[in-house]
Structure 1
Amino acid sequence: MKVNGKVVEFQNNKTVLDLLNDYNLNKDRVAVEINLEIVENDKYETYVLKEHDAIEIISFIGGG
């Protein structure tokens, strides 16, 4: 599986939320795209990743 263009080790039954936790990312401050489709954040806990998924994680940064 690829995350932000880098090949990472695939683990069975890993959800989007598990992946975000691996990267210490807050689910409310990111957008996740899997295979060119945006995943709604209310599905992060149940969306199970697949071995050949291409995942992009975009972090939101506030400013003023």
Structure 2
Amino acid sequence: MKLIVNGSPLEVEAEDLTGALAALDYGDAVVATAVNGAFVPAAARAGRALKDGDRIEIVAPRQGG
């Protein structure tokens, strides 16, 4: 399936957001996610189905000041 991940078009084999994160090597990472501009909490990722053309944003927390 063709997805836009953090602004880059990618071919990802996944049916849901959890599968996409695993396919992109984010499986166990602590990240924030959004699909098509809507925040998706970690508990809801397995239930968030994906379709061709969806835009996924993956953001890792950062420390600093």
Asked whether the two chains share a fold, i.e. TM above 0.5, the reply is yes
Q: Give the superposed CA RMSD.
A: 1.9
Runs of 4+ aligned residues of structure 1 deviating over 2 Å after TM superposition are 60-63
**Which AA in structure 2 matches 1:57?**
I
Contact residue 10 and residue 51 of structure 1 kept, 8 A: no
2:11 aligned to 9, 12, 32, which one? 9
Q: What TM-score do you get using the length of structure 2 for normalisation?
A: 0.76
Greater relative contact order, per chain length (Cα 8 Å cut-off, separation 6+): 1
Contact residue 2 and residue 54 of structure 1 kept, 8 A: yes
Structure 2 gap ranges (5+): none
Q: What TM-score do you get using the length of structure 1 for normalisation?
A: 0.77
Q: Who is 2:40 aligned against?
A: 39
Structure 1 gap ranges (5+): none
Secondary structure of 2:58's partner?
strand
Overall identity of the aligned pairs, in %: 26
Corresponding residue pairs, total: 61
